Structure 1
Amino acid sequence: MDESRFVVMWKYNPTSRYLKIFYQDGTAVLFHPVPEFVYQNLLRTQDKAAFVEKYLVYDLHFSHIAIA
């Protein structure tokens, strides 16, 4: 069974280009280096979780760490 995840908060540091995504289940993922234009696109999209899965995890292959 596929479980839905929802993005509840995010933090971006333009100096280090680290993007931390927080989900409703208490987990978080840290992506780096994320250019500012990608972060700006995240702000514009309606479905934040889909954006993270499609662009950050699959298409752009940023280094990322899952934080439980």
Structure 2
Amino acid sequence: MQNQLGTTPEQIIHSMADAMRLTGDGCTERDLLLRGFTRHQILKHGDAAREMALASASSSIRSRVQARRAA
């Protein structure tokens, strides 16, 4: 059976970043543990996943804001 959260560091980081975005502001270690990540994975990949989640969230916010119409 394949691990749903990924087996490579890149896959784990991507899965963790997705989990962080889905949980939203205030995502805690406990939230990630409940989603199936191990404490070791959180310690090892948490910072990279947080950066990815924040970068992705800010780019999606920018893309949803409508541009001003030309006068």
Structure 2 length-normalised TM = 0.26
Compare the two structures and name the one with the higher strand fraction.
1
Structure with max Cα Rg? 2
Higher helix share: 2
